[in-house]
């Protein structure tokens, strides 16, 4: 649905702790819709508030000192009732590390992550909860990093 698989390849790689160089990752990355970005325009931790992007997508930011931020927005069509699509918005941040084979492991700060689930036909209001998921993936190819000044994550 989202072009998540276009930019990332899931892999169950084993991670090794070692000195890390993240220079090839640092910056903000987004999926092809170029609409979902990290930063407080997506999730504002101060007011604890999500802003729904125009289009679905996924975005990651990585810093040189090993922190990541992730924004994810997915809509799920409902074939039996097209008027009732569901939507999921997720945000998390935390530390990341890189394995020898180039795969990444993201370890979120569990209490900070948030999820908003909307199913307008089932619930009048969105369901807002905490969210955390450790992720492992390989970076295959990613589109241009977005200039930090325009859509920066928390720690740029």
Ligand X SMILES: *[C@@H]1O[C@H](CO)[C@@H](O)[C@H](O)[C@H]1NC(C)=O
Q: Applying CB under 6 A, which residues contact ligand X?
A: 34, 110-111, 130, 132, 146, 150-151
* Residue 20 CB, nearest approach to ligand X (Å): 25
**C-beta of 144: minimal distance to ligand X in Å?**
7
Given the structure tokens 């899931």, which residue do they identify? 10
Backbone angles phi, psi at 155, to 5 degrees: -115, 10
The dihedral formed by the CA atoms of 135, 68, 37 and 138, expressed in degrees to the nearest 10: -40
Between 99 and 151, name the residue whose CB sits nearer to ligand X. Answer: 151
Grouping H, G, I as helix, E, B as strand and the rest as coil, residue 38 is: coil
| Least distance CB 40 / ligand X (angstroms) | 15
CB of 131 to ligand X, least distance (A): 7
Strands in the chain per DSSP E:
8-10, 27-30, 43-44, 49-50, 57-62, 67-76, 86-98, 103-108, 114-118, 127-130, 135-139
Comparing CB distances to ligand X, the nearer of 57 and 67 is: 57
Residue position matching structure tokens 């931020």: 69
Residue bearing tokens 């092809």: 32
Cβ distance to ligand X smaller for residue 125 or 150: 150
Q: Name which of 16 and 54 has its Cβ closer to ligand X.
A: 54
């Amino acid at each position: 649905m989202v072009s998540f698989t276009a930019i990332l390849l899931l892999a169950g790689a084993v991670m090794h702790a070692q000195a890390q160089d993240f220079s090839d990752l640092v910056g903000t990355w987004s999926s092809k819709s170029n609409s979902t970005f990290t930063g407080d325009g997506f999730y504002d931790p101060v007011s604890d508030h999500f802003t729904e992007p125009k289009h679905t997508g996924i975005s990651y930011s990585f810093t040189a000192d090993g922190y990541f931020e992730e924004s994810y927005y997915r809509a799920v069509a409902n074939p039996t009732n097209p008027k009732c699509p569901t939507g999921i918005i997720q945000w998390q941040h935390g530390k990341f590390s890189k394995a020898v084979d180039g795969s990444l492991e993201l370890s979120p700060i569990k209490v900070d992550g948030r999820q908003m689930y909307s199913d307008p036909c089932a619930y009048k209001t969105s369901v807002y909860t905490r969210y955390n998921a450790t992720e492992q993936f390989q970076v295959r190819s990613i589109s241009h990093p977005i200039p930090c000044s325009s859509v920066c994550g928390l720690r740029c």
